[in-house]
A = this chain, B = another copy of it.
Amino acid sequence: MSILVQKFGGTSLADAHRIHLAARRAVRAKLDGRQIVMVASAMGHTTDRLVELAARVTRRPARREMDMLLSTGEQVSVALLAMAIHEAGQQAISLTGAQIGMLTDSAHTAARIQSIDGAKIRSHLELGRIVIVAGFQGVDPDFNITTLGRGGSDTTAVALAAALRAEMCEIYTDVDGVYTSDPRVVPLARRIEAISYDEMLEMASLGAGVMHSRSIELGKKFDVPIHVRSSFTDTPGTMIMSQPPGMEEVVVRGATLKPNVARVTFHGLPNQPGVSADVFSELSARRINIDDIIQNVSTDGRRVTVAFTVSGDERGEAEAVAALIGQRHPGVEVSLSETLSRVSVVGVGMRSHSGVAARLFKALADARINVENISTSEIVISVLTAAADGERAVQAAHAAFGLAEGAGQTS
């Protein structure tokens, strides 16, 4: 019998009514002839409330104790879900991370999964039970409770689907899938039916925050089909998979906007080994999160220009560190940008289609939007524009690749 993993997020479990809805969904899937493993997040704003409780006790809670505290949220959810499934006349059992043998390292609040003991879950499934697993949590080798950090319940769900060789991992959430662009910015954006892991990873890191990158990476590694869908409707959502149908023909899958980006540029750095390493290890040591790095060489080949971007929130710190680095390299000039926007188009089809960049630049030019920087990877083209141009730029990109019309086909 095939196994289906269904993960329910906090908004999908916010009250007793929604818990019953989630339970009924699992029961229906079971009656369709599958074995069901549910993974639950903490109800609604439970985690926030627990964090606030800790904040009233101390300003610097030990990470181990935060894990002890926060893991209770998911435990409450799974117990209530089991009760709701019993109420619907089916057998169910709730299990904590410790009880399913979700072994992690000891990096409290951001632990990495080391292994999962699928045998215990399988034995409950064989007895006809719906198994309900507390997401987000595990135990380390010394049996301390750990948590997996942001997006942890998604990670639990995908990891379980991999360990159990499930046919699919369904992620129930408060949106009905992944969109070609943010509908609040691009009114013509539409739901993507299927997207590859690589595209989704780029979309996630570029700000289409439906799922955390980590769970998508895990899905890619173990080839787990992931279905992101709404817990409030029965319409299909977005399939994340290795080979979406028509993959070769689709050039661009989506267009994203990241507003409030700051850029720092070093002009005139010596073009010699170790200079970039020096610059970026300094930034890394200060724990500044770099988005993009763009480097060009001067005409005589002796100097390079290196730009990097960070989120606007980290602007102050990044600029301070950049100034220090600049002082250490005589002849180097550091320039700081106004607030910028980054617009990107993503699609694995780019690998085999030429002219994608040109089409993007033409669309931006037609809209009289100036492009400040350009960087590309194999499946992404990103440009930096003035902040004020960001929304128009992503709309132009969305239109240029026909994303509103259907599958983002080449014309």
Closest Cβ–Cβ distance, residue A75 to chain B (whole Å): 5
Mark contacts of A43-69 with chain B using CB atoms, 8 A cut-off: 1 yes-contact digit, 0 otherwise: 000000010011011100110111011
* Other-chain residue from B64, B80, B94 in contact with A53 (beta carbon distance below 8 A): B80
Closest Cβ–Cβ distance, residue A196 to chain B (whole Å): 39
Instruction: State the number of copies, please.
Output: 2
Known contacts A58-B84, A98-B98, A99-B143; is-contact A53 B68 (Cβ 8 Å): no
In the complex, what distance in Å separates the CA atom of A151 from the CA atom of B305? 71
Known contacts A94-B68, A143-B99; is-contact A58 B79 (Cβ 8 Å): no
Q: Is the CB of A58 within 8 A of B76?
A: no
A400 in the interface, Cβ–Cβ < 8 Å? no
What band does the interface of chain A fall in when counting residues whose beta carbon is under 8 Å from B? Answer: 35 or more
A68 partner residues in chain B, CB cutoff 8 A: 75, 78-79, 82, 94, 96
Closest Cβ–Cβ distance, residue A74 to chain B (whole Å): 9
In the complex, what distance in Å separates the CA atom of A54 from the CA atom of B76? 10
Known contacts A72-B75, A75-B72, A143-B99; is-contact A80 B94 (Cβ 8 Å): no
Mark contacts of A260-304 with chain B using CB atoms, 8 A cut-off: 1 yes-contact digit, 0 otherwise: 000000000000000000000000000000000000000000000
A16 partner residues in chain B, CB cutoff 8 A: 53, 56-57
Q: A62-B83, A68-B79 are in contact. List 13 more A-B contacts (CB 8 A).
A: A16-B56, A58-B87, A62-B82, A65-B80, A66-B79, A68-B75, A68-B78, A68-B82, A69-B76, A71-B75, A72-B76, A75-B75, A99-B143
14 A–B contacts from the bound complex (CB under 8 Å): A19-B57, A50-B76, A54-B79, A54-B80, A54-B83, A57-B84, A58-B84, A61-B86, A65-B80, A71-B75, A72-B72, A72-B75, A98-B98, A99-B144
